[in-house]
Structure 1
């Protein structure tokens, strides 16, 4: 680790949120391959943008073409993959953007670490509230995910062509206390998006009171 570095203070989180007129937070989708994470996350991003909110989706496959292209699928590399994404998501959220991540993120401890990172206090701005972290578990039976198999990955995994494939030859640890659980084999994409938006509204995350007292409603 580098030792010759110094933290440079910047604007407070509340300043950014007031000026951008929205709150920043992270919506973390987790679930098996072919569960529908990316499809729901993309539809949610589009819906939030239509509401006039700044949102950005970080996708598991897409990130591996750039930021994480040096990582494989060993447990160690999966841990590092999620660590990096958690840091990036926090930066987006801190900038008053809604960060949406869709990653299998199979290990509970990695997801917990991402949550703790968002909750951590900023010593430079101790009055800033923690960044909300909403875990969305897209729950699907393995048999249904295999039936969907849009990329043919389960078939290859069953044939031994893909080592360490989550749900087949590598574990998936289900969330114990996800804020939202979506059974994607039983709900449409539109119903899933509405459930998430209803939750965000119930927590006041899509509303921000401006400095002159006017309420911004979405």
Structure 2
């Protein structure tokens, strides 16, 4: 199945682009939060579901990393400089963003052992400036902007149509709006769009031989 190392890397990159948005979809589906209901005790009351959801969301961002690296590696002509910068931005952002999922486990314990008001205060106090500036903002901005720009560079080099960056942008915006507004339809709809566009590129990477490999 894998005649050489390049085929292995291509398969890993393509499979990651399929699995990452799939994990995002499943992570949203298994989140026990009810649409339109902001219940601080929902995580404490459903620790199993929260653990599954947080783990899936964590791996959604982690699995995008090899996919991004694979796409950057394939961009060789137009857009190569953009791909490199966007790839670094995306990888740093995705790494930071994946680590934020651990806060869900603290939610479980805090709201299970302390009064809701006290647990809420501890969580808010934990949002120190360093965490927001050095973890949260780089994680969100780097992940989303980086993914869009990598897709732009990929399309600019002629490796995919412009539907690819357009679909990535739409999918991210829809997901962000759905997640922030507790709208389950949009919260799942955005990742479905991401699965469609990243999945198409992932399958293409797996099935199409690498054309512009650098000479070692």
Structure number with higher helix proportion? 2
TM-score by length of 1: 0.30
TM-score by length of 2: 0.30
